[in-house]
Amino acid sequence: MRVSPNLALGPGREFDRLRAIYQRLKTPSGLGDDCAVIPFGKTNLVVSIDLSVEGVHFRTDWLDYKAIGARAAAGALSDLAAEGAEPLGLLVSLGLPPSATDDIAADVMEGISRKAGIAAPVLGGDLSRSEKYLVDICVLGRAARPVRRSGARVGDGVWVTGRLGGAALALRELQAGRRAADPFLASRYDDPEPRLAAGRWLAAHGATAMIDISDGLAADAAHVAAASGVALEIELEQVPCWEGVEPLAAAASGEEFELLATLPASFGSDAARDFRLTTALDLTQIGTCAVGEGLRLTLGGRPVPPPPGYDHFAS
């Protein structure tokens, strides 16, 4: 989730709260989106912050401490990916309960550091006692041409990377007290990959708007529609689904960390093949941008009501 002061926000409890905050602050900033963008010398500094709290975003009986760190880092880096940015580094605040050993703290940090890789070193951080574990990660990156949520134009195609629905499947296994037998499926939840190279490729190849699928395809498509002032028409039968997942479930699955991008109509199957060769990821057109507003989901030509987005403030 990212605070988006001046952009039209999608629906949901968390966004109501942000509206209340921004009404009060009267922030003059034109920033928002997945990241804040600050012109800096000849390029742009791109920054985002991502808070993970025990019991809300993760459970210590589902994930080991390295995986908790890796997931938190993946979520933050995914925001950079959605801007088409190159990561520079990250800052980490850790909250640790009195029972946490030094080894646990080092495990969390090792998970973060491994996921971020050498391109994005841990630059600094802060430690505090707290009742529950918490991991807050600020990512720093740069982008000559950052891609916002607000640039989709009527006529653009709507594309998505990878396949959707695996994160929800893998989470369901954890909720049932076991890790998914298929390690590729299990990793969709406990070791997700931020799509950094894919995001930079799409930015360099004309993406007009981009967002990572952390709230679910349907909710994030609605965010792009609201920010861009267009309607996003998505055909559910085109959505690339994880094996055994129905399209509507795939469109509701949160924390997928794939990218939704709008691309000019001229972007076609040849370009998508080049993308696959470069990134070893699928890239699938699932719809188009039309005059109007909001998300229009169809299945076999019939309208389907959008599923609710992933909302940490839902009780």
Residues that bind a second copy (CB under 8 A): 1-3, 14, 16-18, 20-21, 23-25, 27-29, 31-32, 35-36, 38, 40-43, 45, 47-53, 55-57, 88-89, 91-95, 98, 102-103, 105-106, 109-110, 113, 121-132, 134, 136, 138, 140, 142, 312-313, 315
Strands 157-161 and 283-290: what pairing?
Answer: antiparallel
Nearest to 258 by CA among 278, 277, 279: 279
Closest to a second copy by CB, 121 vs 292, is 121
Closest to a second copy by CB, 51 vs 198, is 51
Q: How far is the CB of 48 from a second copy (least distance, A)?
A: 6
Interatomic CA distance for residues 116 and 299, integer angstroms: 38
Closest to a second copy by CB, 135 vs 297, is 135
Alpha carbon distances (Å) from 49 to 33, 212, 272: 12, 14, 31
Closest to a second copy by CB, 113 vs 279, is 113
Closest to a second copy by CB, 91 vs 281, is 91
Closest to a second copy by CB, 120 vs 164, is 120
Q: Compute the chain's Rg from CA coordinates.
A: 19
Q: Could you tell me if 156 and 229 are in contact, meaning their C-beta atoms sit under 8 angstroms apart? A: no
Q: How far is the CB of 54 from a second copy (least distance, A)?
A: 9
Q: Residue 12, class by beta-carbon neighbours within 10 Å (0-12 exposed, 13-18 middle, 19+ buried)?
A: buried
Q: How far is the CB of 34 from a second copy (least distance, A)?
A: 9
Query: Residue 216: how many CB atoms within 10 A of its CB?
Result: 26
Beta strands in the chain (DSSP E): 36-40, 43-53, 86-96, 122-129, 134-142, 157-161, 209-212, 231-235, 259-263, 283-290, 294-299, 302-304
Q: How far is the CB of 86 from a second copy (least distance, A)?
A: 13
Nearest to 261 by CA among 218, 212, 227: 212
Q: How far is the CB of 252 from a second copy (least distance, A)?
A: 21
Q: Could you tell me if 224 and 287 are in contact, meaning their C-beta atoms sit under 8 angstroms apart? A: no
Q: How far is the CB of 208 from a second copy (least distance, A)?
A: 21
Nearest to 120 by CA among 57, 63, 68, 78: 78
Closest to a second copy by CB, 108 vs 232, is 108
Closest to a second copy by CB, 57 vs 71, is 57
Q: How far is the CB of 173 from a second copy (least distance, A)?
A: 24
Q: How far is the CB of 153 from a second copy (least distance, A)?
A: 25
Q: What is the dihedral of CA 262, 266, 268, 270, to 10 degrees?
A: -130
